[in-house]
Structure 1
Amino acid sequence: MGGIDKTTLAQLVHNDERVKHHFELAIWVCVSDMFVIKQIIRSIIQVVTMNKCELTEMEALQKKLGDVLGKKRYLLVLDDVWNEDTQKWNDMTSLLCLHAGSGTVMVVTSRGDQVASIMGTVPPHQISLMDEDQSHELFHLNTF
């Protein structure tokens, strides 16, 4: 379900000082409905280097990805993933694992249970909606 703060929860983890100290890199990529591996790799490179990546060929992207990740321990957040194609996931995770240091973690936010299943997440973390009483209590706490 949209709007239940999956992204906000992931941002809290990504931005936490303990997380920043634990990982050598913290990378955030918004994926949305277009799961294009080249674009995701390009986005990772851009976040890490803080420079635009103009590479278009997969071989060059793979080499550059290896250069920027360099077997570091990193946290990668893939936000708002819709892809349910197992082969694309396998291709993507295989590529990322080649350049992952020990202790690397990937967090994926998604509306789809199938995405969690494909990722091999056991069990996926479900965010539940607040009931009406909880909503009123939160409203009163922040208002008064």
Structure 2
Amino acid sequence: MNSNQEKIQALLTFLVADQNYKIEPALKVDLEIFKDRGFKNEVDKNVIDQLSDLYEVANGFEYEMIIGFYSCNDEIIFQNWLEKELFLGKKDFNVLRWKNNKFCLGDNIGNTSISEDYEFDTLIELIECCINEIREIESC
């Protein structure tokens, strides 16, 4: 496991501590399908690598709020690639995207991100933001 995968696993394990959630890796064949689609669409290698790190740790991970990543073999990820946008997942009114060279937490009414504060250079930063949002909601 590389350092990004270890960080992702630690973040998601922390999020679901003492709860009944499964964190399962993608099958190798599904991960290869994702990578092939990414390279055929000429998605930046760094983006493919970051997403692959997620899928190798937690494919299709979904929490009860905010975080809901699609499985790596889901074609919806590349649905809007003509606009250079990847749909990474959706949960309730929240949409996880990669667009304009940023990982974003937006909404399902078309806003790429809630604000610039919800646009990140790395997937790990996006996951950390989502966890912070979840913890804030859960503390209310």
**TM-score in terms of structure 2 length:** 0.29
Higher RCO, Cα 8 Å, sep 6+: 1
The structure whose Rg is larger is 1
**TM-score in terms of structure 1 length:** 0.29
